[in-house]
Structure formats: C-alpha cells, structure tokens
C-alpha cells in the first residue's frame, strides 16, 4: 500500500484489542489508527459477506511491534480478492514444479489474513500467514476460526506472529505471497533467507508480488527469474469498494487505482 494502492504489510489482524477495565468496570476497545469510524474506516464487501474482519487501512507508522524492522513496514490493507484470485490463476498456468496440493502457501506480511483466507479455500498442502504485528495476527487467527467454522477452509491454515525475514520455510514446493508488505532492507533479507532455504532446489519456490514497489530488489537478486510482470485488474465490485474505502480517509494519504502492478517470480538457484 504505498504509492496509491494497498498493502498487506510486514506486520498486519483486525486491529482491535481489548484493554483492561475502566474505572466504571467496563471494558474499552482500542483500535489501531485507521480502524475506527472516525478514521474513515469502511467495511469491504468481503467482510460483510463472510462475517470476518479484514477491512481498514493502517499506515506503517502505526504498526509498531518493538521489532527492529518496524520502520520498514509499509501499511496494512487487505488485497482485493479479485486481484489475488486472478494472480493465482496466472501462476497456475506458468508450469509450477508440482500440483497445487503439494505446495505450501506462505503470506509474508499476512495482516488480518485476507489472503490466507482466500488461499485456504484452495487445496494447498497447507497455508501459513506470517505477521509481525501481534494485534493484526490475533485478529487474523479469529478470522481463520470463523472461516473454519463456516466450512470454507479446504487446507490446513495457521498464523505465525513473527518477522517474515526470519521465518524458516519448510521443505517442499512453496508459493510465497507478498502484498507490498515492507521496504527494500527487509525484502533483501527475505530473499537471502529463501536462497539459503532453497539452495540446490531449483523451481521449488515461486513468489507472487502484488503492488511490487521493491521489484528492483528482486531484479538484482541472483537465482530468481521473472515469469510475469503487468497490471492485474480489480473486479468492478472490488474497484468500487476500494475507491470508496480510500476516499473516506480523512487525510487522503492513499489513493486507489483499478488495477495492481504485479509480478510472478521463480527461484532457479
């Protein structure tokens, strides 16, 4: 989410958290900046239809966790479902190393888990969301619980609260997903971690990158080849929703477009 679009973030769950009781014995809910109605919060139709909470826009400066990578967080915003689904379809036509059922899907900077929920509907081997911000990770877990209860999850799915650049990828085919979650320093560390984990395993890791602001970092990293670069359009419903949501921001810090700049990469070693 930076330039004009949206992001998942290096950090990212619903943003609400319960605080201790007030003097009157009542509990007060405190929202991350950008998740309150007064901050322009508007629910995306995805949340309305599915009873989850993945809406809202939280600027990177408000996604503090105490980690040294906080300053590289971009922002939290849920990926448009239509963009996610279209990019996965394009990837599946690229000749992955194995059937979908053998791939682990990992969302690096999962936020409140919208991409994780969408991936869990597909028959991946398993689905993992890695999120640095504890509040967002907690909300993502609640969303997953709702998804499972509704019978929407075809794949085993979980949320890990931690730094994407330090997350140890498991062996076997892997599909990593990024919605412009962090800046160049963290991207470089993530790619180094991938190179270490998949050394000698060409074709075993593919990467989907939405709102690809750090494309040059990937271009400069040996071992990756780009399979696709282009604009992926939102559906009409998603475009209307995202325009309305971002138009509600009091400060107008972010803007919307009818597409996302995306790329698909493959590790070849």
Q: Is there a domain that residue 1 lies in?
A: no
Q: Is residue 253 part of a domain?
A: yes
Q: Answer yes or no: is 88 within a domain.
A: yes
Is residue 190's pLDDT more than 90?
yes
Out of 24-33, 151-160, 176-185, pick the least confident: 24-33
CATH number at residue 241: 3.40.50.150
- Domain assignment present for residue 135? The answer is yes
Is 119 domain-assigned?
A: yes
pLDDT digits (tens, 9 = 90+) for 51-62: 999 998 887 677
Residue of 54, 42, 99 lying closest to 81 (CA atoms): 54
Q: Model confidence over 87-122: pLDDT tens digits?
A: 999 999 999 999 999 999 999 999 999 999 999 999
Average pLDDT, integer, range 2-21: 35
Question: What's the pTM?
Answer: 0.86
d(Cα 187, Cα 165) in Å, to the nearest integer? Answer: 7
Strands 156-161 and 126-131, by their bridges, are: parallel
Chain Cα centroid distance, residue 23: 38
Residue 6 has pLDDT above 80, yes or no: no
Range of the domain at 210: 76-267
**Contact indicator for 116, 110 with CB cutoff of 8 Å:** yes
Q: Per the structure, how many domains does the chain have?
A: 1
């Amino acid at each position: 989410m930076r330039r004009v679009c949206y992001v998942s973030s290096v950090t990212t769950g619903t943003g609400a958290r319960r605080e201790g009781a007030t003097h009157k014995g009542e509990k007060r809910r405190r929202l991350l900046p950008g998740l309150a109605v007064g901050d322009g919060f508007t629910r995306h139709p995805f949340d309305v239809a599915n009873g989850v909470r993945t809406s809202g826009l939280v600027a990177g400066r408000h996604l503090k966790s105490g980690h040294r990578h906080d300053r590289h967080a971009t922002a939290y915003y849920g990926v448009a479902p239509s963009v996610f689904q279209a990019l996965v379809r394009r990837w599946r036509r690229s000749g992955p190393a194995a059937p979908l059922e053998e791939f682990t899907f990992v969302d690096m900077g999962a936020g409140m888990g919208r991409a994780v929920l969408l991936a869990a509907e597909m028959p991946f081997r398993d689905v993992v969301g890695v999120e640095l911000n504890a509040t967002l990770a907690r909300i993502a877990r609640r969303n997953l619980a709702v998804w499972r209860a509704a019978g929407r999850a075809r794949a085993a799915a979980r949320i890990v609260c931690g730094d994407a650049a330090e997350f140890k990828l498991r062996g076997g085919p892997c599909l990593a997903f990024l919605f412009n979650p962090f800046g160049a320093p963290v991207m470089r560390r993530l790619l180094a971690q991938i190179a270490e984990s998949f050394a000698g395993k060409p074709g075993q890791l593919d990467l989907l990158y939405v709102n690809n602001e750090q494309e040059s970092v990937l271009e400069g990293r040996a071992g990756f080849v780009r399979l696709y670069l282009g604009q992926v359009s939102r559906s009409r419903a998603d475009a209307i929703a995202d325009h309305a949501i971002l138009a509600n921001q009091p400060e107008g810090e972010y803007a919307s477009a009818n597409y996302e700049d995306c790329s698909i990469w493959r590790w070849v070693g």
